Chain A
Amino acid sequence: MKKQKISDDDNNNPFDAISHEIVFLILDHLLPHSLDVKSFSLVCKSFYSIESLHRRHLRPLRTHHLPSVLSRYPNLSRLDLSLCPRVPDSTLHVLSSSPSLSPSLRSIDLSRSRFFTPSGLSSLALRCSNLVDVDVSNATDMRDAGAAALAQAKNLERLRMARCKMVTDIGIGCVAVGCRKLKELVLKWCLGVGDLGVGLVAVKCRDLRTLDVSYLPISNKCVPSIVKLPYLEDLFLEGCYCIDDDGLAALKDGCNSLKTLDISSCQSISPVGIPSIGSGYASLKRLNLSHGIPVTFALVTGLKKLSMLQTLKLDGCMVTISGLKALGDCCASLTEISLSKCAGVTDEGLSYLVTKHGQLKKLDLTCCRKITEVSIAHITRSCTALASLRMESCTLVPKEAFVLIGGRCAYLEELDLTDNEIDDEGLEYISRCTRIKVLKLGICLNITDRGLSCIGASCPELIELDLYRSAGVTDAGISSIARGCPNLEMINVAYCNDITDTSLTSLSKCLSLNTLECRGCPLVTSVGISAIAGSCRQLTKLDIKKCGNMDDSAMIPLAHYSQNLRQINLSYTSVTDVGLLSLASVSCLQSMTILHLKGLTASGLAAALLACGGLTKVKLQMSFRSMLPHPLLNHLEGRGCTFHWRNKVFQVELDPKCWKIQLEDNNTLQ
């Protein structure tokens, strides 16, 4: 490629010596959607043009300026329109008629967009001849004609059509005939597609690697043709209630290449059918049996021959001790087990299981309420390589057990201790897991600033911290976290009543913070939010619901600085028309929840809604429905905005302790 020349500068520009390829390599290390790339392009004309040439991925906020944007980026191959709620045919015509884009475009995402019709899809499919990846999920009003239009994209390899509920066998048949090179097809929730459509897909698209037919009303009839797919690796049959043991038995006849099988929530499958999995798929690596049959000894022995199995999900299943023990004996190579919400997981069974599977990386024990420190001791002793442990609501595990976790599982990256008995001493040991990235400590009423400061002192890689309703936490704890964890992106301090602006001010040092939830913190004011807004430019989600002291003065800095804000919850705050109107200048804003704003009037709301061009979702009091003019609502809906009308009564916040007691009462009642 030619060397970039900068003639207007007399000084020797060091970048003159660097070829484009090298700068491209540097740019490759930046995330395509990060602000760094944007900053880079704004340095000078030279960088601007380099960045334009380098960019392959584009995720525009709105479609209005697409023609000029497309001429700026000639080498785009992936176009992600997931932020554009309204993509009418005119946009697709512009895309497909762009001389630079149409030959290079390989991938387009329309999963969050609406208002396109078969005509637009057809021009896209016909003119963008190199299109290999299309996502039209959630096109709930797309019909067979739309699918037929897509089918004209002959080179399509990946097509996602989840929730295209109006598409029938006919449309899928068109896709099957037209897109012969398909490797991945997602038809999840396409309720109009049945045996015939899926069968035809399996007959025509012989290259299929991934097929997701979850929740389709298909029966055993289409299984024989699926079985004959020579390269099929991932098959998702979640919630296919018409597929029973016979279908499963038919599946085993082929599919030697199968690596993933998901038959969760298939209610017609009985223990009788499971041995056919065990005997059929020697190469199976991932198996999902969630929400299905009870995991008993007999069932697990049926799976004995799956020597390659790595991931096993049994969420929501009835589990027996003998079943767990058999599981320990049979699949020697398991690295991931999910027993979330399994009834019947006890210390005896689980201990045996984990001792046999020392190489476990991920273990999900959410809501296994019967396990105690015995299990934890076994887990920590044998599974030292554990990277992810989820044990939400394991209420019988005493605080001493967390010492073991922190002491033995040094490689933990994700730890979910929501609703547990962990205390500061436990946290102190947890802080030894220095690689921890995600830590969830919601509803841990025993933890205080002391424990948190340990985490802050020794876990620099922390990205996500959840302190929801952990009311013992105050400013000191948050401050130490903010000091020690500069990479923090997400923090939830909801209902931590003692949090004040000090916390937010200290958190403003975490420059990558993108999600802040401080719901129900009455002491937080506009000052704190202003500090956050001023420095955390990446902020995309903000929840300040029930922060009664929050007023319009917080909205102005937000509107001014947080140009990436997408989602905001302002319910129960003191924000008025003024604040809302100023917020409307945030051009990215897509989702707003504005319930019980005392200072809000219908005209102010109308003006704000009208000004906020990118809104896709607004939660409003039902009373506004009649107060807002109908043409306005129609207009907003036409722009792609959906309204969720709520008729909630004003709730007075409970004392945190009181809330926990209430929760436990409910649990015991259940």
Chain B
Amino acid sequence: MKDLKTDLEDNSHAEAWAISSAQNRFPKHAPPDPDPSSSSYTGDFALPRNLQKWEDPSSILNYDTLRTQQTYTEEFGGSSGTRSAHPQNPSVRDHGGLQMNDIIEINKILEWDPRTMLNNLSFLEQKIHQLQDMVHLIVGRRGGPATMGRPDELVAQQQQLVTADLTSIIVQLISTAGTLLPSVKNSLSAVGPSLPDQQLRQLGEILSSSSLGMDAALPPQPSDGGGPKVPDQPNQVDPCGHSSNEHVEDHESKEEEDLDDGENLPPGSYEILQLEKEEILAPHTHFCTICGKGFKRDANLRMHMRGHGDEYKTPEALAKPHKDMSSEAVIIKRYSCPYLGCKRNKDHKKFQPLKTILCVKNHYKRTHCDKRYTCSRCNTKKFSVMADLKTHEKHCGKDKWLCSCGTTFSRKDKLFGHIALFQGHTPAVPLDDTKGQVGAGPSWIGETNEDAQKPGRASFSLGSDGEMQNIMASVKGSADDPASYFSPLTFDSDNFGGFPEFGRPPFEDSEGAFSFLIQGSRNYPPKRGGESSSNNLS
């Protein structure tokens, strides 16, 4: 009897289930509008209003498979184990079930598992039995006095429940049979975009571990009628692409910043915050509520607060305020750039939100602010974010260690490791070294025969080191163009369309060799990199 009652309740909530599940996934401030035409997102995310309209078999499967979740848990590891703890709770079911459902789907796509099929069939059998019992009960009550109260209403409800359950069974049956058909595979791509970020990631992880190749080969399918539409980016369903985006660092270049939106949140599924320009550019983000002093870090603020009284000195007050992990529905926050017309502004047609406050700050500074920080080494590169400058400075002008093969190294030990490894490779001597030695003779030179030797000596020295100098000159000359950082070993005729001087043979007339010397001496060594590059610019 008790079983039956829960079952009844279960069924009575069946209609509301879709809504509640949607609410769980959507931020609370944006409840689903019952009217599809007025809703901003129903077009993209058409959740069925009633069970009969469900066309996505997986959604129904989700509902139905919940009771046998325990059996799947073993198959799919502990990832869904916690969720199966309350199989009767619809809201919990919704969370875990959807995911579980997808996993089952995927597994079926990957490999048809007879065991899963058997499980599904026995589950269906059980379900039919339950429905049978319920119909029996209804038949029994009709004859009894209990039906006297509000008979019409109750009958209608019971009828609806039975219909719902039947529909569910039918769909489940179709779905189970459908796993054997290749066309169902496409449902994966249709399901993907509707999933919350976290679930998609898990999905991606499972997928990428087993079936990277196959899935990547699948072209993203346009969504069918009832399924949610896939937003612009075709790579959003690709789990590999997504997982790589997870590791993108905040201070990476703008191009990469764009990519990190591969998370593919449907519009409206998150809360949009927009900081003001002043707020973004403010040096401090944490302010003391008592004296107003600003801090860059919360920890520093907490240390500061100790000065305002003993109540701030307790371990609790000083402890890091840990995030409330237990709360079920964490509202996803995304940020909008305050700059109108920016793609990152929420009013933009193809709005792409920013993930964190740091992203906002870096984006705003990089895109909409002056580049205030100039590299002190090369005096050409400018940056608006300090971290970008520091990253650049780590590498700027560092490729000063040169091998005779033309490979440059930013570190001397790397060059020496390279030379130790390869036969016949020699460290290249910086040009100013040679030059200094050539001109090092005393200026007076009294003996006449030495005067006669002088020009010959100079030209000889150029010729003798010619090979090395030419290599160096050509490499360093090319280094002016940021697009052409390459080793001479990989010289391609294509690369040199615009640089006729690199086509020169290594040995030429003395004039040519001298011009190389001059060119090289301007660019090498990078100890004087700052001056030399500025010379080149002017």
Residues of chain A at the chain B interface (Cβ within 8 Å)? 88-90, 93, 115, 117-120, 122-123, 126, 141-149, 151, 169-171, 173-174, 177-178, 196-197, 199-200, 203-204, 631, 634-635, 637-638
Which residues B422-465 have CB closer than 8 A to chain A? 424-430, 433-434, 436-438, 440-442, 444-446, 449-450, 453, 457-458, 460-461, 464-465
Which of A170, A631, A634 lies at the interface centre, i.e. has the most chain B CB atoms within 10 A of its CB?
A: A170
B437 and A118 contacting across the interface, CB-CB below 8 Å: yes
Q: Closest residue to B423 on the A side, CB-wise?
A: A177
A174 and B426 within 8 A (CB): yes
Instruction: Determine whether the beta carbon of A638 is less than 8 Å from that of B426.
Output: no
Task: Say yes or no for B334: interface residue by CB 8 A criterion.
Answer: no
Query: When chains A and B are docked, how far (Å) is the Cα of A174 from the Cα of B449?
Result: 32
Give complex CA distance A118, B457 in Å: 10
Give the contacts of B246-274 with A (CB-CB under 8 A): none
Contact call B420/A88, Cβ cutoff below 8 A: no
* Cβ contact of A174, chosen from B427, B444, B445, B461, cutoff 8 A: B427
Q: Which residues of A contact B442 (CB under 8 A)?
A: 115, 634, 637-638
Among residues of A, the one whose C-beta sits closest to the C-beta of B461 is: A119
Which of A93, A122, A200, A631 has a CB less than 8 Å from the CB of B465? Answer: A122
Bound-complex Cα distance A173 to B449 (A)? 35
- The answer to whether B420 touches A117 (Cβ under 8 A) is no
Most buried by A among B419, B425, B433: B433
Extra contacts, 8 of them, besides A118-B461, A173-B419 (Cβ < 8 A), are: A89-B457, A90-B453, A118-B464, A149-B464, A169-B416, A174-B429, A203-B420, A631-B444
* Interface positions of B (Cβ within 8 A of A): 412-413, 416, 419-420, 424-430, 433-434, 436-438, 440-442, 444-446, 449-450, 453, 457-458, 460-461, 464-465, 468
Contact among A123, A147, A170, A178 for B460, CB-based, below 8 A: A123
* A204, closest chain B residue (CB): B420
Report how far A145 CA is from B465 CA in the complex, Å.
9
What are 29 A-B pairs with beta-carbon distances under 8 A?
A88-B450, A89-B441, A89-B453, A90-B449, A90-B453, A93-B460, A115-B441, A117-B438, A117-B440, A117-B457, A117-B461, A118-B434, A118-B437, A118-B461, A119-B458, A143-B433, A143-B436, A143-B437, A144-B429, A145-B429, A148-B468, A149-B464, A149-B465, A173-B426, A177-B424, A177-B425, A200-B416, A200-B419, A635-B446
Complex partner residue of B416 from A115, A173, A637, CB under 8 angstroms: A173
Assembly CA distance A312 to B461 (angstroms)? 48
Question: Is A117 touching B450 in the complex (CB atoms < 8 A)?
Answer: no
Contact status A638-B464, CB under 8 Å: no
Q: Which residues of B contact A174 (CB under 8 A)?
A: 426-427, 429
Inter-chain contacts of B449 with A (CB < 8 A): 90
CA A631 to CA B442, docked complex, whole Å: 12
A122 in contact with B461 (CB, 8 Å): yes
7 pairs of A and B residues whose beta carbons are closest in the complex: A119-B461, A173-B427, A638-B442, A145-B434, A90-B453, A196-B416, A144-B429
Cα–Cα distance between A587 and B140 once the two chains are bound (Å): 140
Q: Main SS of the interface on chain A?
A: helix
* Closest chain A CB from B362 CB (angstroms): 38
Number of A-B contacts (CB under 8 A): 106
Interface centre among A142, A148, A634 (most CB of B within 10 A): A148
Q: How far, in Å, is B471 (CB) from chain A's closest CB?
A: 13
* Closest chain B residue to A166, Cβ basis: B433
Please tell me if the beta carbons of B464 and A123 are within 8 angstroms of each other in the complex. Answer: yes
Given A144-B430, A177-B425, A635-B444: A196 touches B412 (CB 8 Å cut-off): yes
Q: Are A178 and B453 in contact (CB under 8 A)?
A: no
Residues of B within 8 A of A143 (CB): 429, 433, 436-437
**Are the CB atoms of B444 and A634 closer together than 8 Å?**
yes
Separation of A118 and B442 alpha carbons in the complex (Å): 15
Chain A nearest CB: distance from B462 CB in Å? 9
Q: Is the CB of A199 within 8 A of B420?
A: yes
Interface of B: prevailing SS: helix
A177–B440 Cα distance when bound, in Å, is 26
Residue of A whose beta carbon sits closest to that of B420: A203
Instruction: Give Cα A118 to B428, complex, Å.
Output: 14
In angstroms, Cα B419 to Cα A373, docked, is: 61
User: A631 to B445, alpha carbons, bound, how many Å?
Assistant: 12
B446 touches A638 (CB 8 A): yes
Residues of A within 8 A of B428 (CB): 170
A548 to B413, CA, bound (A): 63
Cα distance, A177 to B468, chains bound together (Å) = 14
Q: Are A170 and B429 in contact (CB under 8 A)?
A: yes
Closest to A196 in B: B416
Answer whether A177 and B444 are a contact pair too, CB < 8 Å, given A145-B433, A199-B416, A204-B420: no
Could you say which residues of chain A place their CB within 8 Å of the CB of B433? 143-145
Note all chain B residues with C-beta closer than 8 A to A146. Answer: 437
* Residues in A neighbouring B438, C-beta threshold 8 A: 117-119
Bound CA–CA A144/B430 (angstroms): 8
| Residues from chain A with Cβ under 8 Å of B429 in the complex | 143-145, 147-148, 170-171, 174
| Residue numbers in B under 8 Å from A145 (CB-CB) | 429, 433-434, 437, 465
Q: For A199, what are the chain B residues with a Cβ–Cβ distance below 8 Å?
A: 416, 420
Chain B residues within 8 Å of A118, by CB? 434, 437-438, 461, 464-465
A178 to B425, CA, bound (A): 9
- Give the docked Cα–Cα distance between A171 and B457 (Å): 21
Give bound CA distance, A306 to B468, whole Å. Answer: 49
Smallest CB separation, A339 vs chain B (Å): 41
State A171–B442 Cα separation when bound (angstroms).
24
Verify B464–A170 contact, CB threshold 8 A: no
Contacts of B437 in A (CB 8 A): 117-119, 142-143, 145-146
How many angstroms between the C-alpha atoms of A144 and B453 in the bound complex?
A: 23
* CB nearest neighbor in A for B444: A638
Most chain B CB atoms below 10 A, which of A120, A144, A173: A173
**Are A122 and B441 in contact, with the CB atoms below 8 A?**
no
A119-B460, A122-B465 in contact; A141/B416 too (CB < 8 A)? Answer: no
B430 touching A170, Cβ below 8 Å: yes
Name which residue of chain A comes closest to B452, CB basis.
Answer: A90
- A170 pairs with B444, CB closer than 8 A: no
A177 to B428, CA, bound (A): 11
Distance to closest chain B CB from A206 (angstroms):
12
Are A177 and B426 in contact, CB atoms less than 8 angstroms apart? yes
Give the docked Cα–Cα distance between A159 and B458 (Å): 26
Chain A residues with CB under 8 Å of B465's CB are 118, 122, 145, 148-149
Closest to A141 in B: B440
Residue among B436, B444, B464 making CB contact with A122, cutoff 8 Å: B464
The chain B residue sitting closest to A638, CB to CB, is: B442
Closest Cβ of chain A to B458, distance in Å, is 8
Assuming the A-B contacts A144-B429, A174-B429, are A200 and B461 also in contact, with contact meaning beta carbons closer than 8 angstroms in the complex?
no
Chain B residue contacts of A177, Cβ below 8 A: 419, 424-427
Docked Cα-Cα span, A203 to B418, in Å, equals 12
Interchain CB contact under 8 A, A200 and B464: no
Separation of A276 and B457 alpha carbons in the complex (Å): 53
Separation in Å of the B521 CB from the closest CB of chain A? 13
| A120, B453: Cα distance in complex, Å | 12
Tell me the complex Cα distance, A151–B420, Å.
16
- Chain A CB within 10 A, most for which of B416, B427, B442, B465: B427
Residues of B near A169 (CB, < 8 A) are 412, 416, 427
- Measured CA separation A89–B450 after assembly (Å): 9
CA distance A319 to B442 in the complex (A): 52
Of A90, A142, A197, A635, most buried by chain B (CB within 10 Å of CB) is: A90
A119 touches B457 (CB 8 A): yes
Which residues in A have their C-beta under 8 angstroms from that of B430? 144, 170
From B412, B430, B446, name the one whose CB has the most chain A CB atoms within 10 angstroms: B412
CB-CB under 8 A from A120, the residues of chain B are 457
Once the chains are docked, how many angstroms separate the CA of A178 from the CA of B223?
68
**Are A93 and B453 touching (Cβ within 8 A)?**
yes
Closest chain B CB from A95 CB (angstroms): 13
Residues of chain A within 8 A of B434, CB atoms compared: 118, 145
